[in-house]
Structure 1
Amino acid sequence: MVVSCFQYHRSTSYDRDRMEGHGLDWENQPSVFKEYPGIEPIPLPEPGPFPEKNLSELLRQEKLDPEGFTFHIKALSTLLFLTYSLTGKARQGDGFFYFRSVPSAGALYPAELYFTANGLAGLDDGLYHFSIARHGLHLLREEPQGKGAESGPSLTFFLTSIFFRSCWKYRDRGYRYCLLDTGHLLQSLVLAAGSMGASLSCSADFPDNQVNRFLGLDQEREVCLAVAEVPMRKESVLGVIPESEKLSQDMVDASRVALKETVYSAPVEAHKAGMSIRRGNEESLPAMVYRLGPSPDHWEPLPSFSTWHEVVQYKDAVLSRRSRRNFFQEPMPEPAVHGLLDGLLKGTSENTRQFVGTGVLVNNAGSREPGYYLLDSKTESLGMVKEGPFMETMAHICLDQAWLANAALHFLFMADLGALEERFGPRGYRYAMLEAGRMGEILYLTAASMGIGCCGIGAFYDEEARQLLKLDKNTRLLYLVAVGPVKRA
């Protein structure tokens, strides 16, 4: 029985001497598209026009005007397209594999996107599921037109994850990927909204059971992990979600994505352990980068990065984003290194800093000496922990994926899980993993905007990684993102 998310993380750690291989049940491969039998999707208008902005502009934007988003269905279509869309296809067996704008471990895509709309021109008020396959909407709950109109229009997104999609391949470790992938999608949504002039208020704190019931989820299979609102109302929509009636069993059963599913207990139990919210003291914790264990002898302030070497605008970076592994040993130009660091600095909030610390393994990148560094996003400085080559050793730790040794940089997202659990309870694990995923998404899009490769890694021998990075006993590597020049086809 999992009662602690730190316990869950430890129990799903990979150990080189205890790894048990397992085959995949191809007869029950999960569908990556959620459908609602009997509910025909409402087609959305063709998306566009698209914002002509660079990613660097979006990340540097100051807090936006809450009324900056125009509430109509055409704008919603564009927002959803930029957030989560099919961007290409390749033949796979007897069918096709569809690339998406957002990365996913094993291309299993556990994340789903729902929203409630009120007062949005061209769309009836209600709860909707976004069908990425059809670029359309499944209407799940109708709301009387004009209800809540006195509070103004509202748009609230709910990001969920279907356990079995990830657990089919990764088994009990799958909950890690569900959280990271939801973080990817959340950051994609934030950037898409920002590109259209809207700010989002994001939260991982909400009444789980009430929200899951409202969305019509089978909580053994699918759960809500994050909420994001366009803050137009004085009060959050979360505060007025009623104790809603249960949706029809057919709708609830839509959380099932294979004929025969194994319900892996560890992810379900870990998630339930984190359902209680323990915020209490609202004072932020000290920055996580100072609580990991290693400490640089000195911190070097980073130069001001006025421009990046962007070769495509934000929209094209979204559409061209891929997980690229064909790194080769070529020096990464200094402007590209600056862009990656600046993207993380500008995309890191106070919230991120208290939950996740960032490290960098440098191989062949600009003028930096090879070594292991920590990044302090608040003071915008970099400190070397240890000089020397690390890439081959880290590639060995990442399940001997030799291609990782050719990357120019490995970005490391780490957290003291013991301290987070002590302060926030098991839910602190959600906060850290979601933030790690969000930072990974920033790197993916920053790399795509500059025409370089990027690939996230959540599979590694956990204790070996802890020892290599000199992390304290309760601190763990959560996510590694490799970046560097790639060979062109």
Structure 2
Amino acid sequence: MVVSCFQYHRSTSYDRDRMEGHGLDWENQPSVFKEYPGIEPIPLPEPGPFPEKNLSELLRQEKLDPEGFTFHIKALSTLLFLTYSLTGKARQGDGFFYFRSVPSAGALYPAELYFTANGLAGLDDGLYHFSIARHGLHLLREEPQGKGAESGPSLTFFLTSIFFRSCWKYRDRGYRYCLLDTGHLLQSLVLAAGSMGASLSCSADFPDNQVNRFLGLDQEREVCLAVAEVPMRKESVLGVIPESEKLSQDMVDASRVALKETVYSAPVEAHKAGMSIRRGNEESLPAMVYRLGPSPDHWEPLPSFSTWHEVVQYKDAVLSRRSRRNFFQEPMPEPAVHGLLDGLLKGTSENTRQFVGTGVLVNNAGSREPGYYLLDSKTESLGMVKEGPFMETMAHICLDQAWLANAALHFLFMADLGALEERFGPRGYRYAMLEAGRMGEILYLTAASMGIGCCGIGAFYDEEARQLLKLDENTRLLYLVAVGPVKRA
């Protein structure tokens, strides 16, 4: 029985001497598209016009005016397209594999997107599920907020994850990927909204059971992990979601994505363990980068990065984003290194700093000496922990994926899970993993904007990684993102 998310993380750690191979049940491969039988999707207008902005502009822009977003269905269509869309296809067996604008471990895409809309021109008030396959909307509830609509227009997004999609391949470890992938999608939504002049208020704190029931989810299979609101009204929509009636069983059953599903107990139990919210002391914790264990002898302030070497605008970076592994040993130009560091610096909030610490393994990148560094986003400085080559050892730790040794940089997202659980309870794990996914999405899009490769890695021998990175006993590597020049086809 999982009663702690740190316990969950330890129990799903990979050990080189205890790895058990397992085959995949191809007869019950989960569908990556959620459908609601009997509910025909409402087609959205053709998206566009698109913002002509660079990603660097979006990450640097100041807090936006809450009233900057125009509430109409055409703008919503564009927002959803930039957030979560099909961007290409390739033949796979007897069918096709569809690329998406956000990355996903194993291309299993556990994340789903819902929203409530009130006062949005061209769309009836209600709760909707976004169909990425059809670029359309499933109407699940009409006027779900009742009297809350009197407070003014609102647009609130709910990001969920379907356990079995990830667990089909990764079994009990799948909850890690559900959280990371939801973080990818959340950051994609934030950037898409920002490109259209809208700010978002994001939270991982909400009444889980009430929200899951409102969305009509089978909580053994699908759960809400994050909420994001366009703050147009004084009170949060979460405060006016009623104790809603249960949706029809057909709608609840839509959380099932294969004829025969195995319910893996560890992800379900870990999620339930983290359903209570413990936020008594609102004072922020010290930055996580100073609580990991290793400490640089000195910190070097990073230069001011006025421009990146961006070769495409934000919209085209979204559409061209791929997980690229064909790295080769070529020096990464200094402007590209600056762009990657600047993207993380500008995209890191105070919230991120207290939950996740960032490290960098440098191989062949600009003028930096090869070695292991920590990044302090608040002081915008970099400190070397240890000089020397690390890439081959880390590739060996990442399940012997040799191609990782050719990357120019490995970005490392780490957290003291014991301290987070002590302060925030098991829900602290959710905060850290979501933030790690958000930072990964920034790196993916930053790399795409500069025409270089990027690939996230959540599979590694956990204890070996902890020892290599000299992390404290309760501190763990959560996510690794490799970046570097790639061979062109």
Describe the SS at the equivalent of 1:165: helix
**Cα distance in 1 for residues equivalent to 2:254 and 2:159:** 16
Q: Is residue 124–residue 145 contact of structure 1 (8 Å, CA) maintained in 2? A: no
Alpha-carbon offset, residue 146 of structure 1: 8.1
Q: Is residue 145–residue 242 contact of structure 2 (8 Å, CA) maintained in 1? A: no
**Cα distance in 1 for residues equivalent to 2:231 and 2:145:** 20
Structure-2 residue corresponding to 1:13? 13
Structure-2 residue corresponding to 1:310? 310
Describe the SS at the equivalent of 2:112: strand
Which deviations, in whole Å up to 9, do the C-alpha atoms of 1:289-342 show, x marking residues without a partner? 000000000000000000000000000000000000000000000000000000
**Cα distance in 2 for residues equivalent to 1:111 and 1:35:** 14
Describe the SS at the equivalent of 2:67: helix
| Residue 482 of structure 2 is aligned to residue 477 of structure 1 | no
**Cα distance in 2 for residues equivalent to 1:6 and 1:147:** 41
Which consecutive aligned stretches of 4+ in structure 1 deviate over 4 angstroms post-superposition? 144-147
Which deviations, in whole Å up to 9, do the C-alpha atoms of 1:425-464 show, x marking residues without a partner? 0000000000000000000000000000000000000000
Which sections of structure 2, spanning at least 5 residues, go unmatched? none
Alpha-carbon offset, residue 55 of structure 1: 0.0
Structure-2 residue corresponding to 1:67? 67
Describe the SS at the equivalent of 1:470: coil
Describe the SS at the equivalent of 2:411: strand
Distance 1:194 1:347, change over 3 A: same
Alpha-carbon offset, residue 366 of structure 1: 0.1
Structure-2 residue corresponding to 1:378? 378
Describe the SS at the equivalent of 1:228: strand
**Cα distance in 2 for residues equivalent to 1:148 and 1:274:** 29
Q: Is residue 145–residue 240 contact of structure 2 (8 Å, CA) maintained in 1? A: no
Which deviations, in whole Å up to 9, do the C-alpha atoms of 1:131-183 show, x marking residues without a partner? 00000000000018984343110000000000000000000000000000000
Q: Is residue 127–residue 144 contact of structure 2 (8 Å, CA) maintained in 1? A: no
Describe the SS at the equivalent of 2:262: coil
**Cα distance in 2 for residues equivalent to 1:338 and 1:151:** 44
Which deviations, in whole Å up to 9, do the C-alpha atoms of 1:321-370 show, x marking residues without a partner? 00000000000000000000000000000000000000000000000000
Q: Is residue 327–residue 487 contact of structure 1 (8 Å, CA) maintained in 2? A: yes
Q: Is residue 454–residue 482 contact of structure 1 (8 Å, CA) maintained in 2? A: yes
Which deviations, in whole Å up to 9, do the C-alpha atoms of 1:107-153 show, x marking residues without a partner? 00000000000000000000000000000000000018984343110
Which deviations, in whole Å up to 9, do the C-alpha atoms of 1:240-268 show, x marking residues without a partner? 11000000000000000000000000000
**Cα distance in 2 for residues equivalent to 1:276 and 1:107:** 31
**Cα distance in 2 for residues equivalent to 1:146 and 1:313:** 41
Which deviations, in whole Å up to 9, do the C-alpha atoms of 1:378-430 show, x marking residues without a partner? 00000000000000000000000000000000000000000000000000000
Distance 1:208 1:131, change over 3 A: same
| Residue 366 of structure 2 is aligned to residue 359 of structure 1 | no
Q: Is residue 292–residue 472 contact of structure 1 (8 Å, CA) maintained in 2? A: yes
Q: Is residue 148–residue 240 contact of structure 2 (8 Å, CA) maintained in 1? A: no
Which sections of structure 1, spanning at least 5 residues, go unmatched? none
Describe the SS at the equivalent of 2:128: strand
Q: Is residue 119–residue 146 contact of structure 1 (8 Å, CA) maintained in 2? A: no
**Cα distance in 2 for residues equivalent to 1:25 and 1:356:** 35
Describe the SS at the equivalent of 2:120: coil
**Cα distance in 2 for residues equivalent to 1:330 and 1:99:** 27
Q: Is residue 145–residue 241 contact of structure 2 (8 Å, CA) maintained in 1? A: no
**Cα distance in 2 for residues equivalent to 1:406 and 1:184:** 24
Number of residue-to-residue matches in the alignment? 489
Distance 1:400 1:121, change over 3 A: same
**Cα distance in 2 for residues equivalent to 1:323 and 1:417:** 28
Structure-2 residue corresponding to 1:102? 102
Which deviations, in whole Å up to 9, do the C-alpha atoms of 1:70-116 show, x marking residues without a partner? 00000000000000000000000000000000000000000000000
Describe the SS at the equivalent of 1:261: coil
Which deviations, in whole Å up to 9, do the C-alpha atoms of 1:169-219 show, x marking residues without a partner? 000000000000000000000000000000000000000000000000000
**Cα distance in 1 for residues equivalent to 2:83 and 2:416:** 31
**Cα distance in 1 for residues equivalent to 2:280 and 2:231:** 23
**Cα distance in 1 for residues equivalent to 2:400 and 2:221:** 32
Distance 1:146 1:415, change over 3 A: closer
Q: Is residue 373–residue 383 contact of structure 1 (8 Å, CA) maintained in 2? A: yes
Distance 1:146 1:213, change over 3 A: closer
Describe the SS at the equivalent of 1:395: helix
Q: Is residue 370–residue 388 contact of structure 2 (8 Å, CA) maintained in 1? A: yes
**Cα distance in 2 for residues equivalent to 1:404 and 1:146:** 52
Describe the SS at the equivalent of 1:472: coil
Which segment is superposed worse, 435-444 or 150-159?
150-159
